[in-house]
Structure 1
Amino acid sequence: MSVDSSKQPADALPERSPLIRLDRVTKRFGENTVLDHLDFSVDAGRHVTLIGPSGSGKTTILRLLMTLTKPDEGTITVGGEQLFPASEKRRREVRKKIGMVFQQFNLFPNMTVLRNVTEAPVTVLGLSRDEAEARARELLDMVGLADKCDARPSRLSGGQQQRVAIARALAMRPQVLLLDEVTSALDPELVAGVLDVLRDIARSTDITMLCVTHEMNFARDISDQVLMFDSGRIIESGTPEKIFADPEHERTREFLGAVL
């Protein structure tokens, strides 16, 4: 990941090509249409936050990109390669470009912190154990846990476990980092530490970030673009300054009035 020490607002950034693209994607669960012929793209290096009420389709987009579920219609491409429709083998290859941090930490309880971070790079990417451990130690230092390499997850606080999960996702050297309500399972006093780590990643790397969150101040801080979802559709998009200070859509105003 390269360092960009002079991050600019979205309207000042140079033109970039879409890294993620969804074309007319529809997803249904029974009779409930969660995404309705959605056209959606994220340019390389951008930080995009999805906001909106629960059930509006935000997390479903992340689950589609992680291949945890499949679209009923439409196409999804990542880095110019088709994720859906595609063979299972092709999906696994494309999925290597994507890392995700979930609401729950999902760490392996029988492994040390260091092993949690190194396991996938060794088994999936084929890195040597030494190379994976060097990368893991660097990342654990970045998230403030250099002294916890030999600890088990059960000995860590929730905030520390989530920071390990962030390091684990970055250890795969993804082009895209997906963040799904990463602070929702944390006690309030632990939220700030995790968000500070993510702010540092957003400001100091060129990784593309797609974030679902109800932490509006965090969304305002890290986003190049904010998208407001309602009933499986994007009803408004713009810079954080525009969306939070002067939203155009009544539904956006209602939602922000309830959560701010």
Structure 2
Amino acid sequence: MSTEPSTGPSTELVRFEGVGKSFGEHTVLDDLSFSVSPGQHVTLIGPSGSGKTTILRMLMTLERPDRGTIEVGGERLFPADERQRRELRKQIGMVFQQFNLFPNMSVLRNITEAPVRVLGMGRDEAEERARGLLEMVGLADKAGARPAQLSGGQQQRVAIARALAMRPKVLLLDEVTSALDPELVAGVLDLLRDIARTTDITMLCVTHEMNFARDISDQVLMFDSGRVIEAGPPEQIFSAPEHARTREFLGAVL
């Protein structure tokens, strides 16, 4: 992971270079440059409103940068035409704070719908993969249930399985436990730890769960006012942060 632009050939899976974004008078990203290598687990920490979720939403093409470039796999996501964005978007999966499951569909259909419609996967293959993912997340017996019949923790497990069903190169995690009751948080975090340990998927995670960030991260980026003010391995950021703002933030949340 680098927080500086590179002039050589790109080996990064995700690259932001000089990205800026404002909402009205409020600047949320200010000349942001960073990159993530394949297989890395990078966690974004910092106060609310510092631009972390906006980064994930841009990668999902839910927001557009006002300036700068974003690349995925060496190809332009922004600026680019809509067809290219749609193709690159297939490489990215996201798990949201709110589970965003389709309430009128079964758990199995929630997981198979996008692989069938977006990737053109055969329904039998999609269902076989979905059942394997449900087993992985501990919900093999819930394939026929509707989301309303599940607990919040179970719904978030389905959302994780749905994201993985697209076989993404990058998995984005946006405060995935913030909507859960406290007793359900540990199970979801343990599942994500297992995924981080047992797969080579690249992860870009926004979280206020600092112990989780310490456990899964190769690199941690501390954000403040739309910029990366400090970056390093978790043992450095959490045990010996160099920036006063990082120390102040961690003192408030740890």
- Tell me the TM-score range normalised by the shorter chain: over 0.9
Counterpart mapping for 1:140-179 below 5 A: 140-179=134-173
- Cα offset, 1:31, TM superposition: 1.0
Return 5+ residue gaps in structure 2 as ranges. 1-9
Task: Return the alpha-carbon distance in structure 2 between the equivalents of residues 57 and 154 of structure 1.
Answer: 32
Structure 2 counterpart of 1:204, from 186, 190, 198: 198
- Cα offset, 1:89, TM superposition: 1.1
Partner of 2:25: 31
Partner of 1:133: 127
Give the TM-score normalised by the residue count of structure 1: 0.93
Counterpart mapping for 1:1-260 below 5 A: 17-260=11-254
- Cα offset, 1:81, TM superposition: 1.1
Task: State the one-letter code of the partner of 1:61.
Answer: I
Aligned to 1:18, the other structure's residue is in SS state coil
- Cα offset, 1:44, TM superposition: 0.6
Give the TM-score normalised by the residue count of structure 2: 0.96
Task: Return the alpha-carbon distance in structure 2 between the equivalents of residues 70 and 184 of structure 1.
Answer: 25
Task: State the one-letter code of the partner of 2:28.
Answer: V
- Cα offset, 1:42, TM superposition: 0.5
Q: Which runs of 4+ in 1 moved over 2 A?
A: none
Task: State the one-letter code of the partner of 1:53.
Answer: P
Task: Return the alpha-carbon distance in structure 2 between the equivalents of residues 220 and 249 of structure 1.
Answer: 18
Aligned to 2:13, the other structure's residue is in SS state strand
Aligned to 2:190, the other structure's residue is in SS state helix
Partner of 2:5: none
Task: Return the alpha-carbon distance in structure 1 between the equivalents of residues 239 and 90 of structure 2.
Answer: 37
User: Over residues 16-57 of structure 1, what are the superposed CA-to-partner deviations in whole Å (9 max), with x where a residue is unaligned?
Assistant: 921000110000101111101111100110000000000101
- Cα offset, 1:153, TM superposition: 0.5
Identity percentage of aligned residues: 80
Alignment length (residue pairs):
245
Task: Return the alpha-carbon distance in structure 2 between the equivalents of residues 24 and 207 of structure 1.
Answer: 26
Return 5+ residue gaps in structure 1 as ranges. 1-15
Residue pair 2:11, 2:74 contacting (<8 A) in 1 also: no
User: Over residues 229-254 of structure 1, what are the superposed CA-to-partner deviations in whole Å (9 max), with x where a residue is unaligned?
Assistant: 00000000111100000000000000
Task: Return the alpha-carbon distance in structure 1 between the equivalents of residues 123 and 43 of structure 2.
Answer: 35
**RMSD between superposed Cα atoms in Å:** 0.8
Partner of 1:12: none
